[in-house]
Amino acid sequence: MRRYVFPIMLGVAGVAVLMCLGFWQLDRMEEKRVYLDEIEARITNAPIPLPAAPEEAAHKFQAVVAEGQFTGNYLEVLAGQTGASPGVLVIEAFALPDGRKIMVQRGFVADDARAAPRPPREARVEGNLHWPQDTNSSTPAPDARTGLWFARDVPAMAAKLGTEPTLIVASAPTGDGIAPVPVDTSTIPNNHWGYAIQWFLLAATWAGMTVFLLWRIRARKV
């Protein structure tokens, strides 16, 4: 009987740990669902006036409205859209009546339309506050020759355009043939159900291996 003790203890401990990890993933799945529901609410709620001091923790994805003037000072970020030719996202400095300057992601422009003039003009912008984290250690620096950016970096773009690090992603057209690219939750995955299934399958495998080991021990004894 003593030869069974350690395999049984190991089997029970292993199954318990793996099951706990599976249930933890189920908890994370529910937390992510609540988080995504909150984001959807912020995106779709009626827009509020642009806060005086937007903060990522409190205002990310918040629907806002702002009136002011596009300055004509913009930068372009390499982008693509399904079913469209390659192009860029236009991110332009936007001057508010109180003297503040922020950034507006006006949307997508195909390569063959990039040269179209976009003179300064007054506008009313509706969209969502966003702090995208597109860059990583392998993201190239903006092209020194063309000025093309390869990813959005709010602080760096703000420094380049001379604005505060506040970005509104337009949800409605802002003119000049630029197609808005509104924010949504499609890029925020909730894969925790799949992870939970994997842990539960590992727990079942561990249990099966434990039973097999006990059978082998019994067979050797016989």
Rounded to two decimals, the pTM is 0.74
Amino acid identity, residue 59? H
Best CA proximity match to 76, nearest among 139, 136, 161: 161
pLDDT of residue 221: 60
Residue 214, both tokens: 């006990």
C-beta of residue 192 within 8 angstroms of C-beta of residue 22: no
pLDDT of residue 96: 96
Task: Check residue 87 and report its DSSP letter.
Answer: E
Q: What residues contact 6, with CB distance under 8 A and at least 6 apart?
A: none
DSSP labels, 28-94: HHHHHHHHHHHHHHHHHSPPEEPPSS--HHHHTT-EEEEEEEEEEEEEEEEE--TTS-SEEEEEEEE
**Distance between CA atoms of residues 95 and 156, nearest Å:** 18
pLDDT one digit per residue (tens) for the chain, 222 residues: 677 777 788 888 989 999 999 999 999 999 888 878 787 878 888 899 999 999 988 888 999 999 999 999 999 999 876 656 789 999 999 999 999 999 999 999 998 888 888 899 999 999 999 998 888 888 889 988 888 999 999 999 999 999 999 999 999 999 988 999 998 877 777 888 899 999 999 999 999 998 888 888 777 765
Q: What's the pLDDT at 78?
A: 92
